[in-house]
Amino acid sequence: MIKFYDLSSLEIKHELITIRRYRESDFAGLEAIFEQEFFTWFFSAYQNCREFVQEKMAEYEKGNLVMLVIIDNHTEQIIGTSSLYEMSFRHKRIEMGSSWLARKYHGTQYNALTKFVMIDYLLNTLDFNRIQWKTDALNIKSKAAMLKLGFVYEGTLRRHAITYSGRVRDSLVFAVTDIDWERVKLIIQERIKQKFVIIK
């Protein structure tokens, strides 16, 4: 059976990127690309990178979340982060979110590539059956991005959560399962080709 250790020791190497668990020595690299604007749709209004990291690390210490960093292998610089949480090892399901990339990587292949690498690893190496994402129903950009990647829209959780402004939000649920993956991976691979650029 999958255990929390399998996630906390996670390290995925690809030709272009490496994805691994966050370490204290990564803070400066993450702080360098932090922009408060990235968190419009997050539950917390982070004033700085320290607040973001402290929140994630507190959940890690409880065994509830694993924060990851995404590294550009060409520059060896951190270019973003994502987190894994809401995991059930018995039922082989997990949620992915709290993801953001450095601004200069927006609109490139790196978002799709990161999703592809992580989904493939979680389903085929760690043997999860289901990966899900939730997004604010008002976040049209996020919804469109997930649909373009072939994620399956499963429904809306009405009045699901309270945002930092006090607004009660509806959450859209998307998922990819082991049964979906053969179809979805072809969509993501095509998306990677369409967006491919060389970052210098």
CATH code assigned at 169: 3.40.630.30
pLDDT of residue 103: 96
Tell me, yes or no, whether 73 lies in a domain: yes
Tell me, yes or no, whether 34 lies in a domain: yes
Domain count, the chain: 1
Distance CA 98, CA 75 (A): 23
Query: pLDDT, tens digit, for every residue of 154-192?
Result: 999 999 999 999 999 999 999 999 999 999 999 999 999
Tokens of 32: 């360098």
Average pLDDT of every residue of the chain? 96
Confirm if 36 and 51 have CB atoms less than 8 A apart.
Answer: no
Tell me, yes or no, whether 148 lies in a domain: yes
Query: pLDDT, tens digit, for every residue of 47-79?
Result: 999 999 999 999 999 999 999 999 999 999 999
Tell me, yes or no, whether 20 lies in a domain: yes
Distance CA 152, CA 10 (A): 25
Tell me, yes or no, whether 200 lies in a domain: no
Radius of gyration over every alpha carbon of the chain, rounded to an integer in angstroms: 16
pLDDT of residue 122: 97
Tell me, yes or no, whether 121 lies in a domain: yes
Distance CA 65, CA 57 (A): 8
Tell me, yes or no, whether 185 lies in a domain: yes
Tell me which residue range forms the domain holding 118.
4-195
pLDDT of residue 81: 98
pLDDT > 90? residue 199: no
Distance CA 96, CA 70 (A): 14
Partnered with residue 77 across adjacent β-strands are 72
Q: How confident is the model at residue 1 (pLDDT cuts 50, 70, 90)?
A: confident
Query: pLDDT, tens digit, for every residue of 112-159?
Result: 999 999 999 999 999 999 999 999 999 999 999 999 999 999 999 999
15-41 average pLDDT score: 96
Distance CA 53, CA 22 (A): 9
